[in-house]
Amino acid sequence: MTQIDLDVLGRPIDATEQELLRIYGDLKSLSERTDLAPCALMNVRQAMVMLWNACCDLDLVFEEPEHD
Amino acid sequence: MADWSRYWNPKNETMSRDELQALQLFKLQKHVERAWHKSPFHRRLYETAGVTPDQIQSLDDIRRLPFMTREDWMACQAEQPLFGDLITRPREEAIRYHLTSGTSGRQPLRVLDSRKDWSWIAEMWCYGFWGIGVRPTDTVFFAFSYGSFIGFWGAHYCCEKIGSLVIPSGNMTTEQRVKQIAEMKPTVVCATPTYALRMGQCAEQMGIDLKKECNVRRVVISGEPASDPVKRLIENMWGGKACDTAGMTEIGTIMIFEADNQPGGTHIIEDNFIEEVLDPETNEPVPYGEKGERVVTSFGRGFIPLIRYRTKDLVCKVPHTTSDCGRTWDLYEGGILGRVDDMKLIRGTNVYPRAVEAIVREYPEVEEFQIILTREDNIRDEITVKVELAPDKEATWNDLHPKLGKDLADNHEGLRFNVAKADQGELPRFELKAKRLQDLRDQ
């Protein structure tokens, strides 16, 4: 995932928010994969929506992740 | 103990109003755009109204969008069972199915949620529970039956997310619940206001003093409007603060909560909802401090976009400065005040059931009550408040009867209320939404 420096309102985001966004992006990519074992994929999706919550609460994203 | 923030999301709960409104507009634009592309129901509504997503350029432009009503929703479900064409994703991608409570007597609405939606639903409860003061060290008891009605489901998951110890009481009887509360000593109890009172009365009959023998810090109430006298009665029974929340199955979660400073109202979770308050007849916005119908736009539920949904809830919005908790989110003074169609006209006087309840609840001797409307001689409307006294308060009837009648009349422009006494155990008890009004006039 390319680094994003601004939140949805165009405000700068700090290092912790960057980290949250990166993890969310990684989990979202994993959630779309079809080659993972069910135990991996379903837990990744569960984790992904939790990170979506954190990122959405902090105005870092506003989107439907779809592969949940 | 950790030095926790008093806010679940300090960034958004204290952001400036300008930033908050910019955030709402951003979300509104995205949400309408998605509804247009993914929900045939919304596309049809917008095309009929002649509006397109690109016309939403300011928050005021929300008024270009047509209202969404329960009737529209029910009709689309009837035409295309089971879920209509409102949903944006195939049923196979959902993880939860719930129904509205059915208290209106109509066909319940069916709702689906994705994994993300369900997590968001719990998240909104987290805003509320954290604001109410629930923390990881708390033990939370749910007096809730865990059925198809969505009720406290999201709150249960919220408490797991927070890290509190959750006690789900499922299909227990009231006595079993009281016993478990006495044994486990939860610090937070969740129930409808009616059922919180019911458990309190049951505890008294079982010889359990909840205030002295338990450790309840908070009673989280939801599902029914709760007047101040009802909340004070609950606090006197339980010993903890009674904090109000309100939500609806249509949004899946809560949209308002009463923070632990109890400012006399409930904060609106404004980073996730736009709450308009409109005159129900003219559909024009009403200013702060005036009552109107709440119309909700919710940003969190992807499966079912809810945009300008008419709730028929009666509310009175006041500015965020009414509370000293630091949140920049506006409030509903007194929470949900009732339903816009709740008002009854009796011999020329407006009567709201919630206002009657507030007066009746000033009398702790009254355990349960019903409001009964009848028409005498096909012309004269009568209103009767039938009260059931607590078992050990029967002797108070002769004093209570005229005093309650006078209080009711004094608060209703002199309207005469009949006050009648019910036998012990005669009146119905409720766990979920109480039905205390019987309008027999057209029967």
pTM for this entry: 0.90
Residue of A nearest to B121 (CA): A53
Calculate the average pLDDT of chain B: 94
Query: Is residue B342 helix, strand or coil?
Result: coil
pLDDT number for residue B104: 60
CB nearest to A46's CB, from B115, B123, B302 = B115
Q: What's the sign of the alpha-carbon dihedral B150, B68, B126, A66?
A: positive
Interface A:B, Cβ pairs < 8 A: 43
CA–CA separation, B288 and B276 (whole Å): 11
Q: Which of B295, B268, B270 is nearest to B65 (CA)?
A: B295
Provide the ipTM. Answer: 0.96
Q: Which two tokens stand for residue B143?
A: 């007096």
Cα separation, A67 vs A49, whole angstroms: 10
Tens of pLDDT along B71-118? 999 999 999 999 999 999 999 999 999 998 766 667 889 999 999 999
Tell me how far apart the alpha carbons of residues B336 and B29 are, in angstroms, rounded to a whole number.
28
| pLDDT value for B431 | 74
Residue B11 in contact with partner chain A when CB distance is under 8 A = yes
Question: At a CB cut-off of 8 Å and minimum separation 6, what does B144 contact?
Answer: B151, B152, B153, B156, B168, B169, B190, B191
CA-CA distance, B170 to B166, in Å (whole number)? 12
Question: How do strand B380-389 and strand B338-339 relate by DSSP bridges?
Answer: unpaired
Share of chain B above pLDDT 70, in %: 98
Sign for the CA dihedral angle at B251, B342, B430, B187 comes to positive
pLDDT digits (tens, 9 = 90+) for A1-50: 567 899 999 999 999 999 999 999 999 999 999 999 999 999 999 999 99
Taking a C-beta distance cutoff of 8 angstroms, is the pair B88, B34 a contact?
yes
Nearest CB neighbour to A49, from listed B8, B19, B115: B115
Q: A11 to chain B: nearest residue by CA?
A: B19
Provide the CATH topology of domain B1-339: Rossmann fold (3.40.50)
Instruction: Check pLDDT > 90 for residue B345.
Output: no
Q: Cβ contact (<8 Å) for A68 and B116?
A: yes
Q: Got the DSSP string for B221-259?
A: E-SS---HHHHHHHHHHHSSEEEEEEEETTTTEEEEE--
Q: What residues contact B395, with CB distance under 8 A and at least 6 apart? A: none
pLDDT tens digit sequence for B229-257: 999 999 999 999 999 999 999 999 999 99
Tell which wins on pLDDT, A50 or B340.
A50
Is the per-residue pLDDT at B266 higher than 70? Answer: yes
* For helices A38-57 and B115-132, angle between their N-to-C axes, nearest 10 degrees: 50
Question: For chain B, what's the residue count?
Answer: 443
* B295 contacts B308 by C-beta, under 8 angstroms: yes
- Using a CB-CB distance cutoff of 8 angstroms, which residues of chain A are in contact with residue B19? 9
Domain B344-439 sits in which CATH superfamily? ANL, C-terminal domain (3.30.300.30)
Confidence of residue B349 (pLDDT cuts 50, 70, 90): confident
**Dihedral sign from CA coordinates of B141, B117, B24, B69:** negative
On the question of pLDDT at B377 being above 90, the answer is no
Pure H helices in B247-352 = none
Mean per-residue pLDDT, B150-167: 97
Distance CA B112, CA B303 (A): 7
Token pair belonging to B127: 């805003």
Looking at the complex, does the CB of residue B5 fall below 8 Å from at least one CB of chain A?
Answer: no
pLDDT above 90 (res B291): yes
**Greatest distance between any 2 Cα atoms in chain B:** 69
Using CB atoms, which residue from B12, B23, B115 is nearest to A45?
B115
pLDDT at B443 over 70: no
Q: Judged by CB atoms within 8 Å, which residues 112-141 of B form the interface with A? A: 114-116, 119-120, 123
B302 interface with A at CB cutoff 8 Å: yes
**Cα separations in angstroms, B439 against B345, B371, B383, B435, B436:** 11, 8, 9, 11, 10
Out of A45, A62, A64, closest to residue B27 by CB: A62
Pairing of strands B139-142, B110-113: unpaired
User: Could you state, in order of their start, the residue ranges of all structural domains in chain B?
Assistant: 1-339, 344-439
Distance CA B225, CA B246 (A): 8
Task: Reply yes or no on whether the pLDDT at B355 is more than 90.
Answer: no
Give CA–CA dist B195/B220, Å, rounded: 11
pLDDT, tens digit, for every residue of B406-423? Answer: 999 998 988 999 999 999
Q: Is the pLDDT of residue B224 over 60?
A: yes
- In whole angstroms, what is the distance from residue B282 CA to residue B358 CA? 29
Tokens coding B195:
């059922």
Q: What's the length of chain A?
A: 68
pLDDT of residue A58: 98
- Are residues B19 and A9, on separate chains, in Cβ contact within 8 Å? yes
Distance CA B121, CA B300 (A): 8
H-assigned helices in B134-227:
153-162, 174-184, 193-205, 210-213
What does the block give as tokens for B351? 């009567």
